[in-house]
Amino acid sequence: MEVIVRRDKEAATDLVARLVVKQVMDDPTSVLGLATGRTMEAVYDRLVDIDAKEGVDFSHVSTFNLDEYVGLAPEDENSYRSYMNKYLFDRVNINKANTYIPNGIAEDLEEECRMYEAKIRAAGGIDFQLLGIGSSGHIGFNEPLSALLSLTRVKALNPETIEQNSPLFPSPEMMPRRAITMGVDTIIKSRRAVLLATGESKAEIIAKAVEGPLTSIVTASALQLHKHCTIVVDEDAAKLLKMRDYYDWVFNNEPEWEDFR
């Protein structure tokens, strides 16, 4: 695991967007794992901006989103399909036929989860997984006590998650209580993972995920097992990290980061 601390939210967001662009430039047929949420809105805005200025060809890219609410149709304005169309897919030259999001209104949800895993395998696995982190420590909707070997499945949402996300709905009672999510093991099997967290409100959970014990209570701590994971945070989100000096030294000295310093 690598930890990179940037001076502010804008710099952290720019770095993550640049890493996505590098992945697509290096492999135009990349399979991207995508995330949603308020943190990701800035990432997608920055991607669109880079595309407009420099040109990024997404036409051969495939994407798999982490999750979708159970009970929301793709055309529902609160669905993650609508989110992705609004913030990214409608703004770049991606082929929507190659963009996959779980079907939250599938007649057989268990079969939908099995099929989603099968589609990821058929695509050759996820090359680059983009992640945020919830205040409960979840990645995707893998709430506390999610099995670290879990695959795509339906999960009941934590009350903390419901409280965090319900303001995004017209009224709190419209917030779904369940979601389909990629499993922890599905995420860990990606070839590269990049997690972005910004703001002081994420400082405590980032410290637990990065420097705390590996535990299903904080599912993001499972990223400690990932073979190539980068955590990107701003100064506020890094406030409780004890090994900050070492993280800075690695970023300033490792050849991998020369083009991003």
> d(Cα 150, Cα 180) in Å, to the nearest integer?
12
Residue ranges and CATH numbers for the domains of the chain are 2-253 (3.40.50.1360)
Q: What are the pLDDT digits (tens) for 215-252?
A: 999 999 999 999 999 999 999 999 999 999 999 999 99
Mapped onto helix, strand or coil, the DSSP state of residue 154 is strand
What pTM did the predictor assign?
0.96
Mapped onto helix, strand or coil, the DSSP state of residue 85 is helix
Query: DSSP letters along 152-168, please?
Result: SEEEEPPHHHHHHHGGG
Q: Which residues are catalytic?
A: 67, 138, 143
CA dihedral 1, 127, 232, 19 (to 10 degrees): 130
Mean pLDDT across 98-110 = 98
- Are 192 and 23 contacting, i.e. CB atoms less than 8 angstroms apart? yes
